[in-house]
Chains A and B, each alone.
Chain A
């Protein structure tokens, strides 16, 4: 039985769902960021699999995946810097306790 495109798409869909569950249900800001990284990885698997099976003449999927990896690194850096700054000021990084609005 050959490994087809559907196998990779199912794996990336399940990985995306796990990342989505992590983002929606965790309290700690760093744990939410880990869920986001899982979702970005699922998108990368999707892109590279589609490049290999549907459009193998060029490497556009690889290029797109590399740009996503770069932007994921940028977003992780800025997000974690925000988490550190929030921890220093508010003494907590549980997102349901961070509420500095007046009402």
Chain B
């Protein structure tokens, strides 16, 4: 019972600001609404007993990516144009496509007979994730660190002011 209440509150905290993100005409307000949406996803992770992923989600998504988005909005003056039109000509076909896609996805997902899993999640997912990263998924670990290096250098080069 308590879990259902917590789930409904967190789902509302995730979805209602997400509507503001995609429909608001004021970009700074859209970026501000992104943050409670990400924190709602963090709550859903905690409810799913994935505490390490939840901590990383707050640290990286809400603490770094949202800050980066706010920085770029402030540097490109996107937040001042309230009279500027913010939706393009694809608004209604886009809405129809997204709604149709969501309906198809929900229909398929709800009707699939998911097998009930056996076993339990390890008590400390941090240690389990660390061990998995260094034994079974070491290739993904090394490749993602390479991608981080390449994107770091790439972002620096692209955004540099030409002297």
**Contact string against A for B residues 132-163, beta-carbon threshold 8 Å, 1 for contact and 0 otherwise:** 11001100100010011011101110110100
Rounded to whole angstroms, the CA-CA distance of A77 and B34 in the bound complex is 17
Count of chain A residues near B, Cβ 8 A: 75
What chain B residues lie within 8 Å of A15 (beta carbons)?
14-15, 18, 41
CB distance from A42 to the nearest CB of B (A): 9
Check: A55 CB closer than 8 A to any chain B CB.
Answer: yes
Query: Which of A14, A38, A94 is in CB contact (< 8 Å) with B21?
Result: A38
**Contact string against B for A residues 18-34, beta-carbon threshold 8 Å, 1 for contact and 0 otherwise:** 11111011111011011
What chain A residues lie within 8 Å of B118 (beta carbons)?
56-57
CB distance from B10 to the nearest CB of A (A): 9
CB distance from A102 to the nearest CB of B (A): 22
Most A-side CB within 10 Å, residue of B15, B22, B41, B64:
B22
Check: A59 CB closer than 8 A to any chain B CB.
Answer: yes
CB distance from A27 to the nearest CB of B (A): 5
Query: Which of A25, A59, A80 is in CB contact (< 8 Å) with B72?
Result: A80
* B99 and A3 within 8 A (CB): no
CB distance from B134 to the nearest CB of A (A): 11
Query: A17-B101, A24-B94, A25-B95 are contacts. A62–B30 as well, Cβ < 8 Å?
Result: no
Task: Report B30-84 residues with CB < 8 Å from chain A CB.
Answer: 30-31, 34, 37-38, 41, 44-45, 47-50, 52-53, 56-57, 60-61, 64-65, 68-69, 71-73, 75-76, 78, 84
Task: Report A71-87 residues with CB < 8 Å from chain B CB.
Answer: 71-78, 80-85, 87
A-B contact pairs, 29 of them (CB 8 A): A3-B4, A5-B114, A7-B7, A8-B48, A11-B14, A16-B101, A18-B22, A21-B22, A21-B98, A24-B98, A25-B87, A26-B88, A30-B72, A34-B30, A45-B41, A53-B114, A54-B114, A59-B129, A59-B132, A60-B132, A60-B137, A62-B52, A65-B53, A66-B129, A69-B61, A83-B76, A84-B75, A87-B75, A94-B84
Cβ-closest 5 pairs across A and B: A57-B119, A24-B94, A17-B102, A22-B22, A74-B151
